[in-house]
Amino acid sequence: MDKNQKHRKITFYKSYFQDFFDKQSKKVKAKIIWTFDLVEELQRVPETYLKHIENTVGLFEIRVQQGNDIFRIFCFFDHGQLIVLANGFHKKTQKTPKKEIELALKIKAEYESEK
3-state secondary structure of 104: helix
| pTM of the shown model | 0.92
- What is the per-residue pLDDT across 98-113, written as a single tens digit (0 to 9) for each? 999 999 999 999 999 9
- What is the per-residue pLDDT across 58-97, written as a single tens digit (0 to 9) for each? 999 999 999 999 999 999 999 888 999 999 999 999 988 9
Which DSSP category does 93 fall into? S
